[in-house]
Amino acid sequence: MTDEHPTRPNKNAHPRLEDLAGGVAIVTGGASGIGYALIEAAIAQGMHCVIADIETEAIRSAEDNLRAPANEAGVELLGYTVDVSSEESVVELADAVSSAFPDTPISLLCCNAGVGGGGGVLTARDIDWDFVIGVNVKGVANCVRTFVPKMLSQNANGAVVTTSSQDGICCAQGVYGVTKHACVALTEALYNEVQGALSVHVLCPNAVATNIVTSERNRPERYGGVAQGTPPSGTKPNPIAERFKAFGMAPSRCAEMVFDAIQSGEFYILAEAPDDPGYVYLEAQTRMEAILNKGLPSRPKSELLTKVFNLRIPLPDNE
Ligand SMILES: NC(=O)c1ccc[n+]([C@@H]2O[C@H](COP(=O)([O-])OP(=O)(O)OC[C@H]3O[C@@H](n4cnc5c(N)ncnc54)[C@H](O)[C@@H]3O)[C@@H](O)[C@H]2O)c1
């Protein structure tokens, strides 16, 4: 097989974390959830951090909260408002990073910004497809195209991590699932193209306790904008959002798994939730077996996702 694909690398660079220290970590969607946890972990590893996000207020509050640990670690923070679905905006981000850190290599690029929703493939409007593909797929492509050539030209150790989902490796559901499959595919293609010069990884988590359910708060104007009547984030209880927070795994656990994978060279990071162990693996296995055995698409039952989506199951405090 190897001879038929002479350009396919058979290694994933896995730099020691000490080698990434002192460099810059750029995390899109860094002001909330998994991205915020990745920034916290990168600070702890001694990297200067760029909190790149579409929500300016959330960036400011992240900067306030992270200033003390950053000072303690002796690293700098740069908060920058970006819309990853716009190539122009990502290029502006790159200029800001070059100005702030002119002589410092980019050690880590986390293409993590993403939005949930979009609906089913039968009901989603053209503009819904554009929104979710724009952020979840083109957002990753824009950042990869803008930053990876710079990272390759540095001749230094570096890692690229994209955030897909368990939805990216199991039988797909809805527009979101389609985009998360595309994110896995994009990351595999990137792995092939960098040929081992950088470490490449895709994070595929089960449900995480973040703000993903209220993603519509960030719908840019050209994708229809925030729908009239959408309450500002956090002002009106959203039962599913509450349940993600109550049952989902800690974002810090995802960050821990990402840094472990960078060191081990693991490409597919199956971020299993502690109370649903082995589920993401089982999803991947179920899909692959269906493909290989001429079966039909199906998803195994998840204890965690049942708790998250079944409103009849009481929240932990009420148990
Ligand atoms: N929470 C989960 O259960 C879960 C599970 C699997 C995968 N994911 C993925 O994890 C990633 C992070 O999401 P999260 O769960 O932390 O949710 P989150 O909403 O807490 O964080 C996402 C961040 O991305 C930012 N963002 C949204 N659109 C953007 C844009 N156009 N440009 C720049 N930034 C933008 C948001 O402002 C927010 O800060 C997403 O890609 C999501 O699809 C989440």
Do 142 and 198 meet the contact criterion of CB atoms below 8 Å apart? no
If you take atom 43 of ligand 1, which residue's CA is the nearest one? 114
Q: How much is the pLDDT for 18?
A: 85
**Low-confidence winner among 14-23, 167-176, 230-239 (lowest mean pLDDT):** 230-239
**Of the candidates 106, 108, 113, 172, which has an alpha carbon nearest to the alpha carbon of residue 137?**
113
Distance CA 129, CA 39 (A): 29
- Determine the distance separating the centroid of ligand 1 and the alpha carbon of 185, expressed in angstroms: 19
Whether pTM > 0.85 for this model: the answer is yes
- By most ligand atoms within 8 Å of CB, the mutation choice from 82, 163, 240 for ligand 1 is 163
What spacing in Å lies between the alpha carbon of 60 and ligand 1's midpoint?
17
Which tens digit of pLDDT belongs to each residue from 85-98? 999 999 999 999 99
**Residue with CA at minimum distance from ligand 1 atom 40:** 114
Ligand 1 atom closest to residue 205's alpha carbon, by position in its atom list: 6
Assess whether pLDDT exceeds 80 at residue 237.
no
pLDDT tens, residue by residue, 285-309? 999 999 999 999 999 999 999 999 9
pLDDT, tens digit (0-9, with 9 covering 90-100), for 101-115: 999 999 999 999 999
pLDDT band at 232 (very low <50, low <70, confident <90, very high): low
Mutate-to-test residue for ligand 1 from 167, 169, 212, highest number of ligand atoms within 8 A of CB: 212
What is the predicted pLDDT for the residue at 235? 65
247-275 mean pLDDT: 96
**Domains of the chain with CATH codes:** 17-312 (3.40.50.720)
From the CA of 112, how far away is ligand 1's center (Å)?
6
Cα 285 to ligand 1 centroid, rounded to whole Å: 26
CA 242 to ligand 1 centroid distance, Å:
16
Predicted confidence at residue 2, as pLDDT, reads 44
Atom of ligand 1 nearest to the CA of 58: 39
Residue 231: what pLDDT? 66
Q: What is the mean pLDDT of residues 165-169?
A: 97
Instruction: Give the pair of three-digit tokens for residue 179.
Output: 């985009």
Q: Residue 78: CB partners within 8 Å, gap ≥ 6?
A: 48, 49, 50, 51, 96, 97, 100, 101
* 3-27 residue pLDDT tens: 455 556 667 877 788 889 999 999 9
- Rounded CA Rg of the chain: 19
Does residue 212 register a pLDDT over 90?
Answer: yes
Confidence of residue 234 (pLDDT cuts 50, 70, 90): low
Integer Cα distance of 114 and 179 in angstroms: 10
Rounded distance from Cα 180 to ligand 1 centre (Å): 12
Ligand 1, residue 209: give the atom nearest the CA: 1
Q: Where does ligand 1 bind, in terms of residues with CB under 6 Å?
A: 28-29, 31-35, 53-55, 58, 82-85, 112-115, 135, 139, 163, 165, 205, 207-208, 210-212, 215, 218, 244, 248
- List, edge to edge, every strand of the sheet that includes 199-205: 77-81, 48-53, 24-28, 106-111, 159-163, 199-205, 268-271
CA of 124 to the centre of ligand 1 (A): 20
Q: Which atom of ligand 1 is nearest to the CA of 210?
A: 20
